[in-house]
Amino acid sequence: MVIGFVNVFKPAGYTSAQIVARVKRIYGVYGRDRKIAAGHLGTLDPQAAGVLPVAIGKATRLIPLLEDQRKAYTALLVLGRSTTTQDALGETVARGDLPEHWERKLEDVLPRFIGKLTQVPPMFSALHHEGKRLYELAREGKSVERKARGVTIYGLSLLGSEAPNRARIHVACSEGTYVRTLCEDLGAAIGVPAYMGALVREASGPFVLYESRTLEEIANDPQGSVTPPEHIIPFPTIVLDLRGSADFRAGRVVPLPQGAPASRVFVRDHSRTLVGVGEAHGALLAPRKVFV
């Protein structure tokens, strides 16, 4: 039984769903389980590359327990044109000449965007509206009202500029931040249309780019590509004996074998198989998620 997280490197040109389907097939064959569950921890746009964490098996049930949802990106900001999709794939909406000393002006406005902001989700996004994805409505030529959402930019810096109209920026932000919207807003702040030319996600919570694996690497080493849940979610682990683990699997409250190290713990049986997540109540342990 495979339970854990895979730090996948998603190449540009693939949807997050396509990557998850590929990973699911790899582990379905490896674990001899065609129905194995798999799910990503946050959509990455098709044209973007980088970190796409995928939960495998019963680890999909642990996704709500992941508290660190911060993201980090490097983006290419292109000035002088805005598009319908706020990225390189859209049709031109507006053009404009770059102001003199635009690099300095861009660097000067960056501090304005650090902290709590509100963003209106773009029409070309995966959010739902009355049962349809927004991008599906956009492709039909429709536009609907979207509510502004609060996001947080923890860090924003200019990495460098390239003549005549490109700049690389680094963004550390909260979950749900649209970097393409940020790029358009940065252009507006210096008085010029702008769009996001390219995007690489460098981190998603505890998953970082230099530890990510390609689909080929994962296929060649499925077991070695899985990170145990304890390495991602900071719960301590306790081990139950044969009777205790059987009762826990059956959904019954069991005595804690020792003092509770935390309110929530991972539970393994005598063979060190991960059987679930428990919640401590005094000297008792109540099952909250049971895997096997």
Q: How far apart are CA 117 and CA 148, in angstroms?
A: 10
The SS3 call for residue 218 is helix
Provide the CA 10 distance to its chain's centre, in angstroms. 12
Q: How far apart are CA 151 and CA 145, in angstroms?
A: 19
Q: How far apart are CA 40 and CA 96, in angstroms?
A: 38
* Residue 45 annotated in active site: yes
Q: How far apart are CA 246 and CA 49, in angstroms?
A: 44
Question: How far is residue 143 from each of residues 90, 173, 188, 240, 251, measured CA to CA in Å?
Answer: 15, 27, 22, 55, 48
Closest CA to 276 of 292, 256, 260: 292
**Biggest alpha carbon distance in the chain?**
75
Label residues 224-259 b or e (16+ Cβ within 10 Å = b).
Answer: ebbbebeebbebeebbbeeebbebbbeeeebebeee
Residue tagged active-site, from 33, 45, 68, 87: 45
Active-site annotation, residues: 45
